[in-house]
Chain A
């Protein structure tokens, strides 16, 4: 049945359907900021098509928008999963005593750790300062979304402002925070 679905995508007379897998691949690669040959892009494209097949009954109307929406969700999930994995790797990897490094090397590593800890402390201080410098509305919107996990609609109801205002506040507030730590969004 999966083969039939894939055939529908790749061998339909409709050119759009035939080009759907490459389009999915390009979309996830764009979102992930990797090349189409990247393993993550390939896996995300395959996962997209798998999910599209499993929920094929929901594909009312045109196939492309339905599949592209899934591709977007899959790519965003990959971004969040990689961030979590990266954070877990940093937290779970203490320096190994069997690494073969000398005592002096380990002392030097400790100095680097102290330096990076000091830099991180300063960064966190900048983040707090940037958050406090926001107006109350944007600050509350950012806190409710990132710290309490509320949706835009819930924040809109809580703060009694339109959803568009919430979206604007969250986007600008987040940008201010990242500007404070010197992180820029690549275009």
Chain B
């Protein structure tokens, strides 16, 4: 038969009962035990010591609380991973900027849109031919350097974004 941890032992309150009183949990302690504690100097003194212990433990636990308990939801951050949409948007803007020369069309919006769809395939073809030129002739070209620099910039952005969105593993 399990013994009630709140029962008096050898005429005095147990540490479990005194600890509960020290935690201001009087409602769970039998009234008989409460009345004894209020009239017993030994139990009152022990309860005071346990109250100090309770406060101290609470302070240590608050201070030792792991950062992840108060950090943003890492599960949500895990799912974020790399901002593919932002990367795609950036590449699209860069692509548009390289193929869409508004000023060359004299401010004519319709002509500018037409020139975009005319220039875009040319840009891609020039990109491919530039790399082929480097591969076969081993000579640099300004276009290749510019494209390579852009790709390098994209790669750096990718690496930085990936490290930024993956949470650090816990050391404990």
* Chain A min CB distance to B43 (Å): 9
- Size of chain A's interface in residues, with CB distance under 8 A? 51
Expressed in whole angstroms, the Cα–Cα distance for A64 and B34 within the complex equals: 13
- Of B20, B62, B172, which is within 8 A of A147 by CB? B62
Complex contact A124–B63 (CB within 8 A): yes
Residues of A close to B140: CB separation below 8 A: none
Closest Cβ neighbor of A77 among chain B residues: B24
Complex contact B59–A128 (CB within 8 A): no
Say if the beta carbon of A22 comes within 8 Å of chain B.
no
Closest Cβ neighbor of A84 among chain B residues: B55
Complex contact A72–B44 (CB within 8 A): yes
- Which A145-187 residues have C-beta < 8 A from chain B? 145-147, 151-153, 163-165, 167-168, 170-171, 174-175, 177-178, 181, 183, 185-187
What number of A-B contacts does a CB cutoff of 8 Å give?
130
Complex contact A175–B53 (CB within 8 A): yes
- The stretch that binds B, out of A7-15, A23-31, A92-100, A103-111, is A23-31
Known: A83-B55, A168-B16, A178-B57. A152 touches B64 (CB 8 A): no
Residues of B close to A123: CB separation below 8 A: 60
9 shortest interchain CB distances as A-B pairs: A31-B48, A68-B38, A171-B19, A127-B64, A30-B45, A30-B44, A174-B57, A124-B64, A146-B58
Of the A-B pairs whose beta carbons lie under 8 Å apart in the complex, a sample of 5, sorted by A's number, is A79-B55, A80-B51, A83-B59, A127-B64, A128-B64
20 further A-B pairs in the complex, CB-CB below 8 A; given A33-B48, A71-B38, A152-B28: A30-B44, A31-B44, A68-B39, A69-B38, A87-B59, A128-B64, A142-B61, A147-B61, A147-B62, A147-B65, A164-B4, A164-B16, A167-B17, A167-B20, A177-B60, A177-B61, A185-B49, A185-B53, A187-B46, A187-B49
